[in-house]
Amino acid sequence: MEELLANLPESCKTLLEETKGSFVQGMQNAPGYKKPGWKGYRYSMHFSSEATQKIYEECDFPENSVILASFPKTGTNWISEIIYEMLFGFDEKFDILRKEIPPPFFVLEGWSADKMDLWKHIPLPHYYFMSHLPAPLINFDKIKKSNSKIVVPIRNPKDQLISWFNYCQSPNFAPLREHLSSDWSQFFSDFMDGKQPIPVTKPGEGYAEFLSGWNEYKDDPRVHFVHFENLKTNTTEEINRIAKFLGMDLTEEQLTLLKDKTSFESMKKIQDKGSDEMAQFRKSMNLVRKGKVGSWKDTFTVSQSERMDEMMAAKLAGTNIKFVY
Ligand code: A3P
């Protein structure tokens, strides 16, 4: 083991090895819909109510953690790559993290809470977690205590929904098919009625509740919002804002490298040419698909578009959230 992993106790080494050997298959065979769990939220696939509750109640975040809290299909993987590269991409001693530590240790509410134990034994200037958790499921006192920060993506809800619809057509979602129709108009109305088991939402709720929950923290210096559409059009400026928020000072050269590595084209190429088991899985989920703003116009009917506008206006009344279409 290289220096960073030199102090892992035997129990963590065993956990790492076991997880590495089994998690992709576990994702492919993950149970579909799970009954609402702790605090009434729905989980599916590898997202776990038990892990969420245990982390909330019993675990501390490592000092200087960065958590990406996203609603599905709002640019999670893109912004995740940007943050990850910012934190770990410019020093090769961190290469071992991607090589040796599989995704279950980076997904906050995924799999089990054991990940929190592993990170205690790895000395890093920052720690990083991805998450689909809504605000009430992250213990904000622990965020403050650990000097941690949270990045929340915002994407217009119509493109989010089109992206989600396309994503759900993957055969990997077969166990959830009765909740995630292949028929667009059925899919649309199930989404609008909060019937889909989207991680991590309550029955009857969805993206609007996720946004209004995080909006409660809009004035907190530990929370930063990134609009997908602004990141598309003003990439440099938005990446610099994320860097500033995280206290990172990027050189011009680093910024150019980071932009290239996380561009749609680069990420698509990596997704499509990857050959290991994880890469194949990611490819089958088509996580990097079109990456456009405004694709919803090809699919939404006028009345669907109006219904979405009305719902968002009603549920987000009192917030300053403005979508870019
Ligand atoms: P589309 O399905 O509209 O193409 P998430 O990571 O939250 O699942 O979000 C997926 C969406 O982000 C997909 O949108 C995907 O194409 C887009 N995306 C992923 N990487 C991107 C990148 N580097 N640039 C722009 N969009 C990207």
Q: Where are the domains of the chain?
A: 3-15+35-315
Rounded Cα gap, residues 42 and 55, in angstroms: 17
Rounded Cα gap, residues 154 and 75, in angstroms: 8
**How much is the mean pLDDT over the chain?**
94
Is the torsion defined by CA of 290, 294, 296, 301 positive or negative?
Answer: negative
- Taking only the tens place, the pLDDT of each residue in 85-101 is 999 999 999 999 999 99
3-state per-residue secondary structure call for 2-24 = CHHHCCCCHHHHHHHHHHHHHHH
164 touches 179 (CB < 8 A):
no
Whether the link from the prior residue into 288 is cis, omega within 30° of 0, is no
- Taking only the tens place, the pLDDT of each residue in 242-262 is 999 999 999 999 999 999 999
Q: Is the CB of 289 under 6 A from ligand 1?
A: yes
The band of 206, judged by pLDDT with boundaries at 50, 70 and 90, is: very high
pLDDT of 282: 79
Six-digit token string for 78: 């893109």
262 CA → ligand 1 middle, Å: 11
For 307, half-sphere exposure in the C-beta direction (CA atoms, 13 angstrom radius) is 12
Which of 45, 78, 296 most suits a substitution to test ligand 1, by most atoms within 8 Å of the C-beta?
Answer: 78
- Taking only the tens place, the pLDDT of each residue in 125-179 is 999 999 999 999 999 999 999 999 999 999 999 999 999 999 999 887 887 888 8
Helix axes 264-273, 76-88, angle to 10 degrees: 100
> How many residues are given for the chain?
325
Q: Is the CB of 168 under 6 A from ligand 1?
A: no
What is the full DSSP assignment across 272-306?
HH--SHHHHHHHHHTSSS---SSGGGGT--HHHHH
218 Cβ neighbours under 8 A, 6+ residues apart: 225, 319, 320
For domain 3-15+35-315, the CATH architecture is: 3-Layer(aba) Sandwich (3.40)
Stretch 212-221: mean pLDDT = 98
Residues forming a β-bridge with 225: 152
Looking at the CA of residue 153, tell me the nearest atom of ligand 1.
7
Angle at 250 between CA 246 and CA 253, to 5 degrees: 155
Residues forming a β-bridge with 110: 47
Question: In this structure, which residue's CA is closest to atom 8 in ligand 1?
Answer: 73
* pLDDT at 238 exceeding the cut of 70: yes
